[in-house]
Structure 1
Amino acid sequence: MPLSWAVFASFLLAAAGYVIGRSRAFATAGPDVRKLHSRPTYHGYSVALTALLPPLAVLAVASILRMAGVLSDSAGPVAGLVALAAAVAGLAWGVMRVGQQFQARNAVERMVLGLLMLCSLIAIVTTAGIVLSLVFETGRFFQLYDWKTFFFGTEWTPRFQGNSQLGIVPLLWGTLYISFIALLVSVPIGLFAAIYMSEYATRRVRSIAKPAIEVLAGIPTIVYGLFALITVGPLLRDYFAQPLGLGNSGSSVLTAGLVMGVMLIPFVSSLSDDIINAVPQSLRDGALGLGSTPSETVRQVVLPAALPGIVGAVLLAASRAIGETMIVVLGAGASAQMSLNPLEAMTTITVKIVSQLTGDSDFNSPETLVAFALGLTLFVITLGLNVVALYIVRKYREQYE
Structure 2
Amino acid sequence: MIVFTAFLAGRLQAARLSRVHSRQLSSLSVYYGWYCALGALAPTMLAGLIAWFFPIRPDVVAVGLPLIAVAGAIYTCMQIRPEVSMQLRVERLIKWMLMASGGVAVLTTFGIVLSLIFETARFFASDGVSASEFFFGLEWSAQTSAAFGAVPLFFGTFFIAFIALLIAAPVGLFCAIYLSEYASPRQRRVLKPVLEILAGIPTVVYGFFAILVVAPLVRQLGLAVNDVLRPLNGGMDVLTAQPKSALAAGLVMGIMIIPFVSSLSDDVLRTVPKKLKNGALGVGATRAEMMKHIVLPVAFPGLMAAMLLATSRAIGETMIVVMAAGERANLTANPFEDITTVTVQIVALMTGDPEFDNPRTLSAFALGAALFVVTLFFNFVSQWIVDRQRKRYAGL
**TM-score scaled by length of structure 2:** 0.89
Could you say which residue in structure 1 is the equivalent of 2:10? 21
2:34 corresponds to 1:53 = no
2:141 corresponds to 1:157 = yes
C-alpha change, 1:35 and 1:232, in structure 2 (3 Å) is: same
The one-letter amino acid of 1:62's match is A
Structure 2 CA distance for aligned equivalents of residues 193 and 25 of structure 1: 56
SS at match of 1:362: coil
Structure 2 CA distance for aligned equivalents of residues 32 and 275 of structure 1: 56
Which stretch of structure 1 is more off in the superposition, 133-142 or 244-253? 244-253
2:225 corresponds to 1:244 = yes
The one-letter amino acid of 2:283's match is L
Could you say which residue in structure 2 is the equivalent of 1:139? 121
SS at match of 1:295: helix
Aligned residue pairs, count = 380
C-alpha displacement of 1:32: 11
Could you say which residue in structure 1 is the equivalent of 2:323? 330
Which stretch of structure 1 is more off in the superposition, 267-276 or 141-150? 267-276
Structure 2 CA distance for aligned equivalents of residues 278 and 303 of structure 1: 11
C-alpha change, 1:87 and 1:296, in structure 2 (3 Å) is: closer
Pairing of 1:112-191 with structure 2 (within 5 A): 112-144=94-126, 145-160=129-144, 162=145, 164-191=146-173
Structure 2 CA distance for aligned equivalents of residues 367 and 389 of structure 1: 34
Structure 1 CA distance for aligned equivalents of residues 312 and 208 of structure 2: 22
Which stretch of structure 1 is more off in the superposition, 82-91 or 109-118? 82-91
Equivalent residue in structure 2 for 1:43, among 32, 41, 51: 32
Cα pair 1:255 1:331 within 8 Å, conserved: yes
Could you say which residue in structure 2 is the equivalent of 1:228? 210
Could you tell me which runs of 5 or more consecutive residues in structure 1 were left unpaired when the two chains were aligned: 1-11
SS at match of 1:335: coil
Could you say which residue in structure 1 is the equivalent of 2:235? none
C-alpha change, 1:85 and 1:310, in structure 2 (3 Å) is: closer
Structure 1 CA distance for aligned equivalents of residues 143 and 180 of structure 2: 54
Equivalent residue in structure 2 for 1:77, among 40, 59, 74: 59
C-alpha displacement of 1:391: 4.6
Structure 1 CA distance for aligned equivalents of residues 38 and 80 of structure 2: 13
Which stretch of structure 1 is more off in the superposition, 96-105 or 176-185? 96-105
Could you say which residue in structure 1 is the equivalent of 2:262? 269
C-alpha change, 1:91 and 1:291, in structure 2 (3 Å) is: closer
C-alpha change, 1:178 and 1:47, in structure 2 (3 Å) is: same
Pairing of 1:283-362 with structure 2 (within 5 A): 283-362=276-355
C-alpha displacement of 1:165: 1.2
SS at match of 1:336: coil
Structure 2 CA distance for aligned equivalents of residues 152 and 366 of structure 1: 17
Give CA deviations for 1:332-377 in whole Å, capped at 9, x if unaligned. Answer: 1112112221111111111111111222333222122111111011
C-alpha change, 1:55 and 1:284, in structure 2 (3 Å) is: closer
Which stretch of structure 1 is more off in the superposition, 51-60 or 368-377? 51-60
Could you say which residue in structure 2 is the equivalent of 1:109? 91
Structure 1 CA distance for aligned equivalents of residues 115 and 60 of structure 2: 31
Structure 2 CA distance for aligned equivalents of residues 35 and 284 of structure 1: 55
Structure 2 CA distance for aligned equivalents of residues 359 and 85 of structure 1: 40
Cα pair 2:142 2:363 within 8 Å, conserved: no
C-alpha change, 1:175 and 1:29, in structure 2 (3 Å) is: same
**TM-score scaled by length of structure 1:** 0.88
Structure 2 CA distance for aligned equivalents of residues 279 and 391 of structure 1: 21
Could you tell me which runs of 5 or more consecutive residues in structure 2 were left unpaired when the two chains were aligned: 227-238
The one-letter amino acid of 2:34's match is Y
Structure 2 CA distance for aligned equivalents of residues 193 and 105 of structure 1: 48
The one-letter amino acid of 1:279's match is V
C-alpha displacement of 1:248: 4.4
Cα pair 1:313 1:389 within 8 Å, conserved: no
Cα pair 1:280 1:400 within 8 Å, conserved: no
The one-letter amino acid of 2:39's match is T
Structure 1 CA distance for aligned equivalents of residues 156 and 242 of structure 2: 16
C-alpha change, 1:92 and 1:261, in structure 2 (3 Å) is: same
C-alpha displacement of 1:57: 2.6
Structure 1 CA distance for aligned equivalents of residues 143 and 14 of structure 2: 71
Structure 2 CA distance for aligned equivalents of residues 291 and 63 of structure 1: 64
C-alpha change, 1:286 and 1:371, in structure 2 (3 Å) is: same
Could you say what the CA RMSD is over the residues aligned between the two structures, in angstroms? 2.2
2:241 corresponds to 1:279 = no
C-alpha change, 1:32 and 1:279, in structure 2 (3 Å) is: farther
